[in-house]
Structure 1
Amino acid sequence: MTILATLGPLLIALLFGYWVNIKVFSPARVAKWLEQLVYVILGLIGFSLGALDNLAEKLLVAGYQAIVMFVLISIISLSGLYLSGLRFGGTHADHLSQEPQTKHSHALIDAAKTIAWVIAGIVIGIFSKDWITGVDELVTYLLYFLLFLVGCQLRQGNYKLRKLFLNSQGVIIALVTITTTLLAGWVGSWVLGLTWNQGLAVVSGFGWYSLSGILISGLGDPVLGTTAFLLDLGREILALMLIPFLARLNSHMSVGYSGATAMDFTLPMLGKFHGAQIIPVCIASGFIMSILVPILIPLLMGIK
């Protein structure tokens, strides 16, 4: 019952946005509102963190957990993706482009803005925690609206599920990435003394830092949410840096390590080093992981 109560409203909001076409929610407005809402929710999560007792200790805990999970995911996931690339015919880059990496810089700027909102929220939370109330409830309602907008964006992207799931390379990469990432989360839960479902939940963002931290924090664990945020942010940044090198080995490594961001943030870099033929693979793999994030995290966090 706890799982249904946690997952149900979030999944309903996501599916409502995906299936129902409301004219006022145009692609431009959805993109703008989604960006602004993410920043607002992250600021509120920062406020919840700032309001915690023994804040410094808990941030150290979140940072340590993120580093351990990050190392495990990098080792286990990249090893699995390397082997799957050898077995299932992953392609490799024939050359390295020397063009300015503007998309790379833009992603890093977005990451810096995201961190700034969280820090601002923490500072406000430290000094105003005694007279501002109801923040957790507000985050929950905003979370429903966020999932609705995510559903709208998936529908407006005109992704045909049948075509995506027929892209064998994209499906293989997604399955290997999901399996190895969850394995890393399970090992990490044992190393860190977390419950198995917490370990799996914290890695189930697959690089989507702006959603994973929000979901876990909104579901009642701001420290673990901070761990997920730091973990996925680090994964996205490192993926952007490693794509030129991983692309020389095989496409499974470069696309898979990019996780859910293969269909958006890291797509320009992947296309640059692998060529246009990699784009359907990236979209298929990234979409499968993206659609699982708002399902897996509430499902796992709802297990008691």
Structure 2
Amino acid sequence: MTILITLGPLLIALLFGYWINIKVFTPQRVAKGLEQLVYLILGLIGFSLGALDNLAAKLLVAGYQAIVFFTLVSVFSLGGLYLSGLRFGGTHASRLAEGPSDSKAHALMDAAKTLAWVVGGVVLGFFAKDWFTHVDEWVTGLLYVLLFLVGCQLRQGNHKLRKLFLNVQGVVIAVVTIVTTLFAGWIGSLVLDLDWHQGLAVVSGFGWYSLSGILITGLGDPVLGTTAFLLDLAREILALSIIPFLARLNSHMSVGYSGATAMDFTLPMLGKFHGAQIIPVCIASGFIMSILVPILIPLFMGMG
């Protein structure tokens, strides 16, 4: 029952945005609204974190947990994807070259801006925690709006579910990435003495840092939410840095490690090194993981 109470409203908001076409929500307005809403929610999450007692100790805990999960996810995911690439015919980049610097710089700048909102919220929460109350309720309410807009954006991308799930390479990459990532999360929960469902929830962002931390914090655990945010932020930055090298090994590694961002942030670099034929694979793999993030995180958090 707890799982249904947690997952149900969030899933309804996501599916409502995906299935219902409301003309006033144009792609431009949805994209702008998502950007502004993400920054606002991340600022509130930072505020919530800054208002906690023993803040420094809890930040150290979140940072340490993020390092452990990041290491495990990287090792298990890249190992599994390397093997799946050998087994299922992953393609190789023909040459090692510099990626599109504009795309990389834009993604890194976006990550820095996102982190700045969280840090700003932490500072404000530390000094003004008695001035602004009911932050968690605000985050939860805005979370429903966020998932509605995410659903709108997924629908507006013109991604046909049947076509995406028939892309064999994309599905294999997504399945291997999801399984190895969740396994790493389970191992991480044993190492860090967390509940197994907490470990699975933390890693279920698949690199989507602007959503994973928001979801977990909105579901009542700001420290674990910070761990997820740092984990996925580090994953995206590393993916942007090593795609040129992973592409030389096989496409499963470069596409899979990019996680949910394979369909957006890291897509230009993946296309650069693998050619246009990789784009449908990236979109299929990234879409499958993206659609699962707002399902798996509330599902695992609800098991507590």
TM-score, normalised to structure 2, is 0.99
Cα deviation, residue 97, structure 1: 3.2
Aligned mates of 1:118, 1:8 — CA distance in 2: 28
Aligned mates of 1:97, 1:79 — CA distance in 2: 24
| 1:193 equivalenced with 2:186 (yes/no) | no
**One-letter amino acid matched to 2:212:** S
| 1:15 equivalenced with 2:12 (yes/no) | no
| 1:263 equivalenced with 2:249 (yes/no) | no
2:135 match: 135
State the 4+ residue runs in structure 1 displaced beyond 2 angstroms.
Answer: 96-100
**One-letter amino acid matched to 2:299:** L
2:162 match: 162
Cα deviation, residue 241, structure 1: 0.3
Cα deviation, residue 96, structure 1: 2.6
Aligned mates of 1:289, 1:14 — CA distance in 2: 14
Q: Deviations over 1:25-83 (max 9, x none)?
A: 00000000000000000000000000000000000000000000000011111000000
Q: Deviations over 1:185-228 (max 9, x none)?
A: 00000000000000000000000000000000000000000000
Aligned mates of 2:267, 2:96 — CA distance in 1: 16
2:99·2:273 contact (CA, 8 Å) conserved in 1? no
Aligned mates of 2:97, 2:124 — CA distance in 1: 44
Gaps of 5+ in 2: none
2:31·2:153 contact (CA, 8 Å) conserved in 1? yes
Greater CA drift, 89-98 or 16-25: 89-98
1:1-304 mapped onto 2 (5 Å cutoff):
1-98=1-98, 100-304=100-304
2:100·2:272 contact (CA, 8 Å) conserved in 1? no
Aligned mates of 1:276, 1:300 — CA distance in 2: 36
Aligned mates of 1:193, 1:128 — CA distance in 2: 33
2:100·2:269 contact (CA, 8 Å) conserved in 1? no
**One-letter amino acid matched to 2:285:** S
TM-score, normalised to structure 1, is 0.99
**One-letter amino acid matched to 1:130:** D
SS of 2:131's equivalent?
coil
Change in CA separation of 1:4 and 1:99 when aligned onto 2, cut-off 3 Å: closer
Change in CA separation of 1:100 and 1:174 when aligned onto 2, cut-off 3 Å: closer
SS of 1:169's equivalent?
helix
**One-letter amino acid matched to 2:182:** L
**One-letter amino acid matched to 1:107:** A
SS of 2:191's equivalent?
helix
Aligned mates of 2:32, 2:42 — CA distance in 1: 16
**Superposition RMSD in Å:** 0.7
Aligned mates of 1:41, 1:123 — CA distance in 2: 15
Cα deviation, residue 100, structure 1: 4.7
SS of 1:185's equivalent?
helix
Aligned mates of 2:121, 2:98 — CA distance in 1: 39
Cα deviation, residue 99, structure 1: 5.8
